[in-house]
Amino acid sequence: MPTLEDRLRNCTRSAVHLEMRDEYMPSDPRFTAWRNGARNDPADSDPERRPWLRLVADLVAQGVEVRRARIVSEPVSDYIRFEHHLTVPTVRAGEQVRWLPRRRASGLALPGNDFWLFDGTSVVFHHFAGDGELAPDDEEFTDDPVVVKLCSDAFESVWRQAVPHADYTLA
């Protein structure tokens, strides 16, 4: 089964990601360190130590548009503060990121899970347990055109209303 990185590297036009949870992977050691006061670790901005940055830069250099939209409750959780902190290097690498306060999403039709949409033709849903950790069956792939359209429409509706990262102030 292809990994997320494999799927991203196979994109030719676009990769979009919609995140709708306020808590992810609370056991992540980087989050624990951040919560305990570690800030501005050089590893956060180093593509050699943070492979996501290298991947994004590679994709963007190949002409792939990488966008992420986050729907967040306000006031934001500690985990969202952590994500916001890590977003600056991601944006520098070429990923476009926007934030949508959850109360502005009430009128939007959204799928039940976070997802990646690849080139507008396939989707991987991510499944999490109630505590924010990845569920044992954490990925679900589909190329069903109806589901792909739902996800594409949902992402674009969020994107239109969301605030660009540079303009979003944590509440």
Residue 46's pLDDT band (cuts 50, 70, 90):
low
- Give residue 32's domain range: 4-167
Average pLDDT score over residue span 30-45: 81
CATH code of the domain containing 153: 3.30.870.10
On the question of pLDDT at 40 being above 80, the answer is: no
Average pLDDT score over residue span 46-64: 88
pLDDT value for 47? 64
pLDDT one-digit tens code per residue, 99-154 = 999 999 999 999 999 999 999 999 999 999 999 999 988 999 999 999 999 999 99
155 SS3 class: helix
Please spell the DSSP secondary structure of 67-91, one letter per residue: EEEEEE-SSPPHHHHHHHHHHHHHH
What is the count of structural domains for the chain?
Answer: 1
Give the chain's mean pLDDT. 94
pLDDT value for 50? 80
Q: Which residues of 27-50 are buried (b: 16+ CB within 10 A; e: fewer)?
A: eeeebeebeeeeeeeeebbeeeeb
pTM of the complete model = 0.94
pLDDT value for 49? 67
Average pLDDT score over residue span 26-51: 81
Express as a percent the part of the chain with pLDDT over 70: 95
pLDDT one-digit tens code per residue, 92-113 = 999 999 999 999 999 999 999 9
